Every structure is written in C-alpha cells, then in structure tokens.
Structure 1
Amino acid sequence: MTIRYSIFLLAFLILSCKDKPKPAVVSVPRPTVSTDGVRITFPDAAMIRAFATQPAKPEAIRTDFAAPGHVAAMVLRSSESPAERLVLFDDPDLSDNYTAILQHRINIQTQRGNLDRVKDLQAHGAASGKEVIEAQTQLANEQAAIISDEATLKLAGFDPEALRRAQPNTILVVCEIPENQLGSIKKGLPCTLSFASFPNEKFTGRIDDVNDFVDNTTRQIKLRIAVSNPDGRLKAGMFATVQFGVTEGKFLTISRDAVVTVQGQDYVFVKTGPQAVERRSVQLGQQRDDRIVVLNGLRENESVVVSNVLQLKGLSFGY
C-alpha cells in the first residue's frame, strides 16, 4: 500500500510540473547612445525620471575674478642708448620681432631721407625718374616689413609703441580672460599678482593694455599687466596668478552636483527633450557654496541634470 501510494504521488508531481507554465523572459529596454556619446535617448519617460534637472539660472553673487598668467617680458634701460628700452622676452622669436621693428624704424628714416634727396636731385636734373621710383620702392618695402613684425607682437599681447615707452625695471605679465568677463576689465585697472617663486608675497600691478581681438577658438582675450620690478627678482618666464579684485554681478550658475570631469575637461548633461539628454562641454568659474559659475557652454534656463549624473557619464563615455 505504501509503495503504491508513493508511486501515485510521484506521478502527480510529474504531471503538475508539466502543466505549470514557465515565466516569460522580459528584456529590459536600454537607452540609445549616439556614436560620439553626446546624445542619450531613453526608451520611455519613466526611465528618464531618475535624472532630475534644475534650470541654469543667473544669480547675484560676489566672486573673486582671477586668471593665470606669465611674465612674458622684462623692460630694462639700454646702457648704450638710455632713451631706448631693452626688452627681454621669454620667447626668442618675439625678441627677434622687436629687434627687427627697431631696425625697420631706422631703415625707414634712412629711406625717407634718401627719397627726399633723390627727389631734390631730380628737381635739379641730377637724378632720373627711375631713381625716384627705386627710392620709393625701398621705403615701401621697409614700411610693409615693419607692419608684419608689429602684427606678430600684437598677437602675442604686446603693443610695439607701448614697449618703447615702457618704464625701465618693469615686468610685463600676459594673461587671458574669457570674453564674457571683458565688461569688468579696462585699461588702468589695478590688480594683485602672486608668483609661485614668492608664495608669501603679493605684488601690485595695473592693466597696461587690452588686446584688440578675441581668440576664435578659445574665446579668450589677452591682457598685458605692468608690474614694478626694481630689485629684479621677478624674471621672464615666471608663472603668476592675477587677481582682479572682488566683482559683484549676475552670473549663470548650476549645482556642483551637475558637473563631471573627464581628462581635465568639465561636462554637464542637459535635458533637450522629453526623453533625450545631451552632453555639454562647459567652462567653469569659481564655486560659491554648492553653486558654481558657468562662463561658457550653457544658456539661461536650460535644464541641467543634477542627480545620477555618474550613470550618464558612464553611458556617454562608455565606462
């Protein structure tokens, strides 16, 4: 009886297992990422809800405005010609340009005198029209050559005429600031500089010149800052941090939690549609509490992701 009952129970269990339906395998939808990793599209609105956003908004904040720079030149008095300035650049090519400019000036004066002399000779029948044309050509060549060398110095942040008037025993620091900070900067503005070689000292300077153009790639503009250097401690090539004082105004800010950094570049993720996110490269300013200033890369009221940002980083960059 016991054996018969056991057989019956085993048969019942086998039949029960056959009749029990297997659970269906459900595939979990995944976000779609563009080839370059810039755009991420989610399959449904429920999935994107995990990535909360906040608008990028302007705030009235006080911030220290600083920029990196370097001592690009030293100005000394020439021992041979006290009226002239001896300028020592950290870039030998700029030294060549400045020397060429000085030589062109001498040549232009010489060629102008020569042209006046030849014209006078022609007026008295002692020179031909061909000689006048040759003298005019030589003068024009020198004038064209000096324009080329002056343009090279301008691109590096130097005004050749200002160099000739610069005070001896002065260093000239060149730094770059973002285009959108130009409104708070003007010629003659005082600033404070610190140097890695003298970490416990502050040096006072003033903005000597603001360049005439903005770099098309970096959207930065060069400033030249003059700093008195009577004891000669500051040398060409030294690195500096230039502090422009405290400025107050409206700056576009985002939460610090929104920022990820990859290989030295800062990024945020912007919600561009109901189920779409876009990676955006940004240039950041100073941080105040949990907010950070955005100098470039965002527009006001764009929706910036502030939660689960590391997941988006992994999707975007593939890790």
Structure 2
Amino acid sequence: MTFRPILIGLVFLAMACQEKPKTAVKSIPRPTISTDGVRIMFPDLVMMRPFTTQPARLAAIRTDFSAPGHVAAMVVRSVETPSERLVLFDDPGLSDNYTAILQHRNNIQTQKGNLDRIKDLQAHGAASGKEVIEAQTQLANEEAAIISDEATLKLAGFDPKALRVARPNTILVVCEIPENQFGSIRQGLVCTLNFTAFPNERFVGRIDNVNDYVDNTTRQIKLRISVANPDGRLKAGMFATVQFGVTEGNFMTTSRDAVVTVQGRDYVFVQTGPQSIERRAVQLGQQRDDRVVVQSGLKVNDKVVTANVLQLKGLSFGY
C-alpha cells in the first residue's frame, strides 16, 4: 500500500518533465519592393497608415531669383578699321580661340579660292589630280581646326557668329543658373544687373544665348547676357548679380516635407493604390513658405506622401 502514493508521484513528475508543445511563431509581414526600388507594396492597410498624403495642386506663385555672373567679354570698335569689332575677353585663352577662329575663316576663304583655281587649271590640263587633292586636304584641315576652336568658345558661353555681329560698346556677362530654374528662362528675357563696382546702380540686360548643355558636375546652365556700355565704365572681369524677371502664374506645388534628395536628384513618393507607393523623380523650382514648385514629375491631385518620408527613402534606396 505504501508504494501506491510513490507511483502516483512518479507519474506526475514524468508528466511535468515532458516537453511542452512549441507554439508556431508568425512571421512579421514586410513590404515588397521592386528590383529598381521604384515601387513599394505593403501587405496590409495597417502598415500604410503612417504614410499620410497631400494632393499635388496648382497654386499662384510669384517666382524670381538671382544668380552671380561676371563680365566675360566686352565689344569695342576697332580703331584702325571702325567697321570691325574687337572682342576683349577676361580669359586670355578665349582671346586666343577667337583670334584663331577669325584666322581660320580667312584661311578657309583663301583655300576655297585656291581649290577652285586648281580645279579650273586641271580642267584645262595645267594642273594634276595630285594638286587638287592637296588643295582639298588643306581646306579640310582648316575646316576641322575651326570646329575645335568654336567648340571651346561655346563651352564658355559664347557663339562665335554672334560675337562677329555684336553691337560695339557692349559688355557680355556670363552667369550660371541651376537646372531646376531653366523652365523660367528663355532667350530675349530682360534682366537687371547690379555690379560690385557700382552698388547703387541698376543696369538693364537681355539674355542673348542659353547654352546647349548642362554641366554634368554642377547641373548648371550658362547664360550670356548683353548690357549696353556706352561710357565704357563696365570692364571685362567685373562681378555682377543678375536679377531675373518676376513671373506670376499657376505652378504645380507640393509640400517641402515630401521631397528627399539622393545623389543630387530630388524625389517624392506617390500613393498609387490602397497598398502601393511609387517613387517619382521631380524637377523643383522655388520654395514658397512650406510649398515648393514642381516643374516636372507630378500631376494635379497626385497623392504625395508627406509623413515618414525618410522610411520610404530607406526602403526605396536600400539605406
């Protein structure tokens, strides 16, 4: 009889020592991200709640901006030949390029005349085919050389043809504007300039040329502005601040909090479905209060995410 309680105790002890069944651990749902990071799909609406949105909208915006510049060249009449123009650059290298272009032009005219003469002599049996080929080669060399010098001037913001017909007693100001301001700039636009040497005066200029390329490093575009200089007070090399005309109108805007910048480019995130968000590259303009002008990348009423944007940045770009 005494063994029965002991046996019962051993049974309970064995039962207590048995391993309890494991409870299945549910995996935490995670968003799905496209290979290029552009699209983010959330598994449920709960995870979407922190990413509140505001619609992109049109708003009446007053835009104006300024940019630093300098007098890169001045145009004056030649003393020896009043009908000719002299261009005085602040960069001696550009002076050499422009002088070389003028020389190449003269050489090209000479070589064309020489080629025509030799071809005529060949037609009458007084010149050989070899002489024609040599004349053609000399002409081709001059034409190739002028292209190189013209490209150098254009990269600096000058059009060689425009320089040859520029008005005497004019200065040429070169300035650079950010790529995202390009939409409000056009050739012929009037602007005002303030020169460091004459801080209390305003000079009127006009955009003569907008460069054909954007600098890959700075994302800037060169402009050339002509300013009348009848009394010769403004000199090559002087610094100026260029104030561009004010434009008023309806522009696409979004909250400044919606924008993230990665490697010099601006992005926003747009809700495209109940559980989906898409990254958009945008070109930005000026900021007014808490809104920023969006020149491209958005449409009216796009649902732009304005809260917890840095989390989306991390998901989209992987950091």
- Assess same fold via TM > 0.5: yes
Q: Determine the structure 2 residue equivalent to 1:303.
A: 303
**Compared with structure 1, are the counterparts of its residues 177 and 318 closer, same or farther at alpha carbon in structure 2 (3 Å cutoff)?**
closer
Q: Determine the structure 2 residue equivalent to 1:88.
A: 89
Alignment TM-score, normalising by the size of structure 1: 0.71
**Compared with structure 1, are the counterparts of its residues 292 and 168 closer, same or farther at alpha carbon in structure 2 (3 Å cutoff)?**
same
Cα distance in 2, alignment partners of residues 58 and 32 from structure 1? 32
Identity of aligned residues (%): 64
Q: Determine the structure 2 residue equivalent to 1:41.
A: 41
2:245 alignment partner, SS class: strand
Cα distance in 2, alignment partners of residues 274 and 138 from structure 1? 70
Cα distance in 2, alignment partners of residues 284 and 164 from structure 1? 37
Unaligned 5+ runs, structure 2? 1-20
Cα distance in 1, alignment partners of residues 279 and 315 from structure 2? 10
1:254 alignment partner, SS class: strand
Q: Determine the structure 1 residue equivalent to 2:285.
A: 285
The one of 229, 233, 239 aligned to 1:231: 233
Contact 1:67 1:177 in 2 (8 A): no
2:164 alignment partner, SS class: helix
Q: Deviations over 1:3-37 (max 9, x none)?
A: xxxxxxxxxxxxxxxxxx99997664343455665
Cα distance in 1, alignment partners of residues 198 and 264 from structure 2? 27
User: What's the C-alpha RMSD, in Å, of the aligned pairs?
Assistant: 4.3
Tell me the number of residue pairs that the alignment of Structure 1 and Structure 2 aligns: 296
Q: Determine the structure 2 residue equivalent to 1:252.
A: 252
Cα distance in 2, alignment partners of residues 53 and 36 from structure 1? 23
2:283 alignment partner, SS class: strand
Q: Determine the structure 2 residue equivalent to 1:186.
A: 187
Cα distance in 2, alignment partners of residues 179 and 256 from structure 1? 15
Paired residue type of 2:233: D
Shift of 1:161: 1.5
Q: Determine the structure 1 residue equivalent to 2:14.
A: none
Contact 2:90 2:237 in 1 (8 A): no
Cα distance in 2, alignment partners of residues 51 and 222 from structure 1? 40
**Compared with structure 1, are the counterparts of its residues 133 and 34 closer, same or farther at alpha carbon in structure 2 (3 Å cutoff)?**
closer
Cα distance in 2, alignment partners of residues 153 and 27 from structure 1? 64
Cα distance in 2, alignment partners of residues 26 and 288 from structure 1? 48
Cα distance in 2, alignment partners of residues 22 and 126 from structure 1? 108
Cα distance in 2, alignment partners of residues 152 and 136 from structure 1? 25
Q: Deviations over 1:75-115 (max 9, x none)?
A: 254677662423425483x4443232111012123324434
Unaligned 5+ runs, structure 1? 1-20
Listed as ranges, the matches of 1:24-35 within 5 Å are 28-33=28-33
Contact 2:193 2:241 in 1 (8 A): yes
Cα distance in 1, alignment partners of residues 273 and 215 from structure 2? 30
Stretch deviating more after TM superposition (47-56 or 82-91)? 82-91
Shift of 1:122: 6.0
Paired residue type of 1:186: Q
Alignment TM-score, normalising by the size of structure 2: 0.71
Paired residue type of 2:70: V
Q: Determine the structure 1 residue equivalent to 2:126.
A: 127
Cα distance in 2, alignment partners of residues 288 and 148 from structure 1? 44
Listed as ranges, the matches of 1:1-319 within 5 Å are 28-33=28-33, 37-64=37-64, 66=65, 68=67, 70-71=69-70, 73-77=72-76, 83-88=84-89, 90=91, 92=93, 94-115=94-115, 118=118, 127-130=126-129, 131-166=131-166, 167-168=168-169, 170-176=171-177, 178=179, 185-187=186-188, 189-194=189-194, 202-211=202-211, 213=212, 222-228=222-228, 230-233=232-235, 235=237, 238=239, 241-262=241-262, 265-316=265-316
Contact 1:72 1:91 in 2 (8 A): no
